[in-house]
């Protein structure tokens, strides 16, 4: 494929960028109504044309006008099979019928706004305390971001300390990031950011700051500032962090807003490591806003208004009957323990099929993740060490920090969209949070499209293969990209 290679561009990047440009031109020509809708949104006064920065991409995002099950219809009439699942919020597809029926019933009963206790609160709370052994007491919120904020502040209130430990590059909601990922809108927690992958280093950081740390908040999965991974961390690694928190007297918070879908009792059930506080959200609402946090009584009892040192927490919509009716319907009809296990097992089969296909074509691609949370990484070098699962305390994430890796992500997304009517994550990240509404035929359609991608871009992928084998020395490009995204450790500490 001919390319116009720019100065200092690698052959793989130039080739992949040129191929992507062709598909983007088709995308623009195919989606004039989405372009008009985005322009109208900006003209209406919406800053940047969207209320959600994560869904924006160049040249403009698609606009959906209708959707059902796992199929979304764009403003220009294209019917897309959804493998993105709204970043886990769409686990049960678009507008699941049991949720719609429950919401209508709640509206007809006059409980639209709350303002008083309702019978749904206890029913939903029992589901969480039953499924999550770490949760004695629970509180609800409207989003996972709020849930993480509540959990962090609960730990601060109980311990009387202020500092929070989190991973470099961590994301715990709209205003809670770790390291250089933090922006000007971040809540100014006093943070100690630590790199993922060395449990002893993290334990030492906790011990060195034990008198100041209120909580360690982590997702129980692999964290990298360069790309999103949801591969569960090794059990001994998390046990070491658990022990360090116990010795320091601070809370261990598991952010399970996404990972709670991996087992009936969340990733903590898979790993057998119990946090003090757990947060959840997104998909439990079946498409409606919902979040929550809970934990052991010693950490949660201060939320009781009758407690002498009550935190006095709450929110106007934290127990609104419409969203709680949706959550109850999810537990009752859509997410039994058996349904959860079956869906994640099917997703594992899909991951294995992707990797078998990539091996058959010697393509520099592999699906990583656990259960129904998968990420496609476009490099030849393995991201995780072969002994990753058995390694006790230290392991590396071997991500190749080159633009060609991320350019292939964009090319794959536009190709699957334009050629096969598939929503394969986003142009920024091929993150597949698989909905339960996908059928075997949908998985087969994805694999056929992926095989054709390998065939169509075989020469370009060979260049990518050659440039991402990995080496002991980082190129200047890799050093620059890593420096932009990672925070040196140890950080200078506030007085």
- Give the distance from CA 478 to its chain's centroid: 24
Catalytic one of 255, 276, 442, 460: 255
Q: Which residue is listed with tokens 């506080």?
A: 277
Q: How far apart are CA 412 and CA 405, in angstroms?
A: 11
Residue 255: strand pairing partners: 279
Determine contact, residues 92/290, Cβ cutoff 8 Å: no
Two tokens, residue 214? 């209120």
Closest by CA to 249, choosing from 218, 275, 214, is 214
Residue 221: strand pairing partners: 232
Q: How far apart are CA 321 and CA 288, in angstroms?
A: 11
Catalytic one of 240, 282, 402, 445: 282
Residue 121 exposed, middle or buried by CB count within 10 Å (0-12, 13-18, 19+): middle
* Helices of type H across 90-234: 97-108, 120-131, 144-159, 199-208
Q: How far apart are CA 70 and CA 443, in angstroms?
A: 12
Q: Is 366 helix (H, G, I), strand (E, B) or coil?
A: strand
- Is 443 in the active site? no
Catalytic one of 87, 150, 167, 171: 171
Beta strands at 79-82 and 422-423: parallel, antiparallel or unpaired: parallel
Determine contact, residues 345/327, Cβ cutoff 8 Å: no
- Is 171 in the active site? yes
Active site residues: 171, 255, 282
């Amino acid at each position: 494929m001919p390319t116009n290679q720019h100065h200092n561009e690698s052959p793989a990047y130039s080739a992949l960028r040129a191929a992507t440009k062709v598909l983007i031109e088709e995308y623009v020509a195919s989606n004039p109504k989405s372009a008009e809708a985005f322009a109208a949104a900006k003209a209406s006064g919406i800053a940047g044309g969207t209320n959600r920065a994560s869904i924006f991409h160049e040249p403009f995002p698609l606009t959906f006008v209708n959707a059902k099950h796992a199929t979304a219809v764009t403003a220009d009439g294209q019917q897309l099979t959804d493998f993105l699942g709204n970043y886990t919020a769409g686990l049960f597809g678009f507008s699941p019928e049991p949720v719609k029926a429950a919401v209508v019933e709640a509206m007809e009963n006059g409980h639209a706004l709350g303002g008083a206790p309702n019978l749904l609160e206890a029913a939903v709370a029992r589901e969480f305390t039953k499924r999550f052994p770490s949760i004695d007491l629970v509180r609800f919120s409207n989003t996972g971001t709020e849930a993480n904020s509540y959990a962090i502040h609960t730990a601060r209130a109980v311990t009387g300390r202020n500092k929070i430990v989190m991973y470099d590059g961590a994301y715990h909601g709209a205003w809670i990031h770790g390291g250089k990922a933090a922006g000007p809108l971040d809540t100014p927690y006093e943070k100690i950011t630590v790199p993922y992958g060395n449990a002893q280093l993290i334990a030492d950081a906790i011990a060195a700051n034990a008198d100041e740390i209120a909580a360690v908040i982590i997702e129980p999965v692999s964290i990298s500032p360069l790309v999103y991974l949801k591969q569960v961390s090794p059990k001994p690694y998390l046990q070491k962090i658990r022990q360090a928190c116990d010795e320091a007297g601070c809370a261990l918070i598991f952010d399970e807003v996404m990972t709670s879908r991996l087992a009936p009792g969340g990733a903590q059930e898979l790993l057998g490591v119990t946090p003090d506080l757990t947060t959840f959200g997104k998909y439990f609402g079946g498409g409606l806003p919902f979040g929550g946090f809970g934990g052991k009584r010693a950490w949660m009892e201060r939320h009781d208004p009758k407690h002498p040192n009550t935190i006095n927490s709450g929110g106007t919509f934290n127990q609104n009957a419409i969203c709680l009716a949706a959550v109850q319907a999810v537990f009752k009809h859509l997410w039994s323990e058996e349904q959860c296990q079956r869906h994640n097992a099917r997703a594992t089969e899909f991951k294995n099929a992707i990797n078998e296909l990539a091996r058959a074509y010697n393509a520099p691609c592999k699906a990583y993740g656990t259960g129904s949370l998968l990420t496609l990484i476009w490099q030849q070098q393995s991201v995780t060490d072969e002994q990753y699962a058995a390694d006790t305390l230290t392991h590396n994430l071997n991500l190749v920090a080159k633009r060609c890796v991320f350019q292939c992500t964009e090319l794959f997304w536009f190709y699957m969209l334009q050629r096969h009517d598939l929503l394969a994550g986003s142009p920024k990240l091929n993150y597949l949070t698989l909905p339960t509404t996908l059928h075997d035929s949908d998985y087969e359609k994805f694999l056929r499209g992926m095989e054709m991608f390998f065939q169509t871009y075989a020469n370009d992928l060979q260049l990518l293969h050659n440039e991402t084998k990995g080496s002991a020395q980082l190129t200047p490009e890799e050093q620059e990209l890593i420096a932009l995204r990672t925070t040196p450790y140890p950080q200078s500490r506030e007085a």
